[in-house]
């Protein structure tokens, strides 16, 4: 009966509302996703905070190969969730200064709890923000935007991505991330619902490493006009800002 009831509820127009209310009740990251979905703060792309330590070892290894352990490195994790990416990078780059930014206050609180447990290292910092407008130009050696410029509910590949995902706002955000990079700096992207090569900023970059497709993960690609581009795969990977 329970299975039949759930199947019936999923077919009702009220199901999204009921699911939202249930997620608010459950708490944890489900509540964070529900709150972000409900409030839609400026700068939101991906409401999910799914993360894990060393989630992108291929890209991290490529950045390490490019930057090495040179002194004074500054790294930015844009959409850092609960901090696993920042702490992974801290292990890989033991002298780098690393800032994590996330739009969800609860996730930043979780980052800071872990930061204090680690001894409050001064080279790590966590900021709640939905954009990088407050950041200085040309101050980072690498910027990571992993599973940020996407929306999990686009997995069924609807013909247009709005209102779930705004590709024009995503392009603006990526232009600002590019502003933050030093000449020769690295931009890392993964699981984006748009192709970096389609964006106006792409001409200022050269590819360093392109991620191989993942057969079990479907990431539909949309143009800046918001329309599905059937048959196209993404061009996630690592890009270097050209030296002028």
Mind listing the pLDDT tens digit for each residue in 132-173? 999 999 999 999 999 999 998 999 999 999 999 999 999 999
In this model, does residue 6 exceed pLDDT 70?
Answer: no
Closest CA to 34 of 14, 17, 13: 17
Domain tally, the chain: 2
Long-range own/partner contacts, residues 210-214 (CB < 8 A, 24 or more apart) = 210/235, 210/236, 210/237, 211/58, 211/59, 211/236, 211/237
Question: Which residue segment(s) compose the domain that 13 sits in?
Answer: 1-39
In this model, does residue 22 exceed pLDDT 80?
Answer: no
Average pLDDT of span 46-67:
94
**Residues 197, 119 share a domain:** yes
**Residues 49, 3 share a domain:** no
| DSSP designation for 204 | G
CATH of the domain at 209: 3.40.50.150
**Residues 23, 132 share a domain:** no
**Residues 52, 23 share a domain:** no
CB count, 10 Å around CB of 64?
A: 14
Predicted structure pTM score: 0.88
- Asked if residues 176 and 143 have their Cβ atoms less than 8 Å apart, the reply is no
**pLDDT level of residue 52 (50, 70, 90 thresholds):** very high
pLDDT at 147: 94
pLDDT at 26: 57
**Residues 114, 32 share a domain:** no
Determine the Cα–Cα distance for residues 140 and 134; give it in Å rounded to an integer.
Answer: 13
**Residues 99, 54 share a domain:** yes
**Residues 50, 33 share a domain:** no
pLDDT at 1: 44
**Residues 175, 234 share a domain:** yes
pLDDT at 217: 76
**Residues 118, 13 share a domain:** no
Which structure tokens are listed for 183? Answer: 């000449």
**Residues 96, 54 share a domain:** yes
pLDDT at 11: 62
**Residues 82, 34 share a domain:** no
pLDDT at 180: 98
**pLDDT level of residue 71 (50, 70, 90 thresholds):** very high
**Residues 68, 32 share a domain:** no
Distances (CA, A) of 21 to 15, 33, 38, 112, 120: 10, 11, 10, 28, 36
Which structure tokens are listed for 182? Answer: 């030093």
């Amino acid at each position: 009966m329970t299975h039949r009831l759930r199947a019936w509820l999923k077919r009702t127009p009220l199901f999204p509302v009921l699911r939202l209310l249930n997620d608010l009740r459950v708490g944890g990251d489900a509540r964070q996703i529900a709150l972000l979905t409900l409030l839609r703060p400026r700068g939101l792309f991906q409401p999910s905070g799914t993360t894990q330590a060393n989630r992108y070892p291929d890209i991290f290894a490529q950045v390490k190969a490019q930057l090495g352990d040179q002194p004074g490195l500054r790294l930015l994790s844009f959409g850092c969730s609960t901090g696993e990416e920042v702490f992974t990078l801290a292990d890989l780059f033991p002298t780098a200064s690393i800032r994590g930014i996330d739009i969800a206050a609860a996730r930043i609180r979780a980052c800071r709890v872990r930061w204090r447990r680690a001894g409050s290292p001064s080279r790590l910092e966590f900021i709640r923000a939905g954009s990088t407008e407050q950041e200085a130009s040309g101050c980072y050696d690498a910027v990571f935007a992993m599973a940020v410029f996407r929306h999990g509910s686009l997995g069924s590949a609807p013909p247009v991505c709005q209102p779930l995902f705004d590709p024009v706002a995503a392009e603006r955000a990526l232009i600002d991330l590019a502003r933050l990079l030093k000449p020769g700096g690295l931009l890392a992207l993964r699981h984006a619902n748009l192709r970096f090569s389609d964006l106006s900023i792409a001409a200022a970059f050269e590819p360093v490493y392109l991620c191989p497709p993942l057969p079990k993960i479907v990431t539909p690609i949309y143009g800046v006009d918001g329309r599905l581009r059937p048959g196209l795969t993404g061009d996630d990977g690592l890009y270097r800002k050209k030296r002028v």
